[in-house]
Amino acid sequence: MEKYKEIERSIIKKFRKEIWANFISAIQEYELIKENDKIMVCISGGKDSFLLAKCIQELQRHGKFPFEAHFVCMDPGYNKENRKLIEDNAKLLNIPIEIFESDIFDIVVKQDKSPCYLCARMRRGCLYNHAKELGCNKIALGHHLDDVIETTLLSMFYGAEIKTMMPKLHSENFEGLELIRPLYKIREKDIISWKKYNDLTFLNCACKFTDEAHNKDEDKSKRLKVKKLVEELKKDNDRIDYNIFKSIDNVNLDCVLGTKENGVYKSFLDKYDK
C-alpha cells in the first residue's frame, strides 16, 4: 500500500475517535461545510494544516454532498529547505498544493515590535485576496482545540475580557468570504500522535528568522505560558482543558457583571430591578 493511503487509513481507522469523529462533529455542529462550497484550504507547512488537508480530502471522498477544495500554500519567503520540506510532504501525502509567493518575511524581519502578530495579519490578508481570486467562498485554517483554549485564557488574563476563537466567522474586509476551523474539536496531542504514528516530519515554524531575536515575540511568549499553565493544572484534573472549552459554550448570563454585543456594553444592573 502506498504511504499516503496508509496515512489516510490511519485517520479513519487508528485515530477515528480522536481525529475523524471530532472533525465530523465540528463540521456538523457548527455547519462549517455545505453543499457546493468552494473552499481554499490553507497549508502553512505544519502538522495541523497538513492534517486539515487530509481530512478535507477524506470528506470529499466519503461525504454526503459535493464541494470543491483548493489546497493553497503561500510562500512568504521560506528558505530553500523549508520550501522543499513543504513540497515533499505535499507529494508524500498526495495533496495537490498550489504555491504562490509573497515578500512578507522581508517586510516583517525589519520590525522590532510584535513581528509574529504583523506576519500573521499580513499573511491573512494575502490569503483572503487569493481566495477571492480563486472564486472561493470559504477559507479553512488548521486551528485546533488547544488554540481555542489558549486564546480564551489569553483574552481573560491579558485582555480583561471573555472571548474565544470562533469555529467560523464572516470576513469584515472581504465580502462573501467566510473563515472556518474544521479542527476546532481536535486536541493537539492527538495530532502529534497521528504525526508520530505515521513517522511524519513537518515544519514547527516556517519563519526564516525563527532563531533570531526578532522572533522573541511577546504574544508567543504569553501563549507558551498559558499552554504550560493548562498542562500544570491537568496534573490535578485531566478534564481542565475540556472544562475551559465547554465553559465558552455554557455562559450563564444570570451570573456575569456585564456583556458586550456589537460594541455595546450592557450591565447586569440594566435588568436587575425589572
Do 127 and 72 form a contact (C-beta atoms < 8 A)? Answer: yes
Residue 143 corresponds to which cell in the numbers above?
A: 486551528
- Rounded mean pLDDT, 41-55: 96
Alpha helix (H) residue ranges in 93-203: 104-108, 115-134, 145-159, 188-197
In tens, the pLDDT along 174-229 reads: 889 999 999 999 999 999 999 999 999 998 865 555 444 444 556 678 999 999 99
**pLDDT value at residue 244:** 96
In the prediction, which pLDDT does 203 show? 87
Measure Cα distances from 206 to 122, 123, 223 in Å: 15, 12, 18
Which one has a higher pLDDT value, 248 or 76?
248
Highest CATH level, class, for 3-272:
alpha beta
The full set of domain ranges for the chain reads 3-272
pLDDT number for residue 218: 60
The pLDDT score that the predictor gives to residue 123 is 78
Report the distance separating Cα 194 and Cα 15, nearest Å: 7
CA within 13 Å, CB half, 224: 6
Q: What is the mean pLDDT of residues 144-154?
A: 97
**pLDDT over 90, % of the chain:** 75
Residue 107: the pLDDT is: 66
Beta bridge partners of 226: none
Q: What burial class does residue 145 get, using C-beta atoms within 10 Å of its C-beta: 0-12 exposed, 13-18 middle, 19+ buried?
A: buried
Q: Position 64: which residue type? A: K
- For the chain, the residue count is 274
Q: What is the pLDDT of residues 135-147, one digit of tens each?
A: 999 999 999 999 9
What average pLDDT score do residues 113-119 get? 67
172 φ/ψ sector (left φ>0, alpha ψ -120 to 50, else beta) = alpha
Residue 49 has pLDDT above 90, yes or no: yes
Contacts made by residues 246-249, CB under 8 angstroms, sequence distance 24+: 248/148, 248/152, 248/162, 248/164
Q: Is the pLDDT of residue 115 over 80?
A: no
Q: Residue 211: what pLDDT?
A: 43
User: Measured at the alpha carbon of residue 201, what is the angle toward residues 95 and 14, in degrees to the nearest 5?
Assistant: 75
Q: What average pLDDT is seen over the chain?
A: 90
Label residue 75 by pLDDT band (50, 70, 90): confident
Three-state DSSP at 249 gives coil
Q: Residue 113's pLDDT is what? A: 65
H or E, element range at 30:
none
Strand partners, 266: 259
pLDDT at 108: 65
The predicted pLDDT at position 214 comes to 45
pLDDT reported for residue 162 = 94
* Backbone region of residue 36 per phi and psi (left: phi > 0; alpha: psi in -120 to 50; beta: other values): left
- Per-residue pLDDT at 156: 96
Q: What pLDDT is recorded for position 217?
A: 57
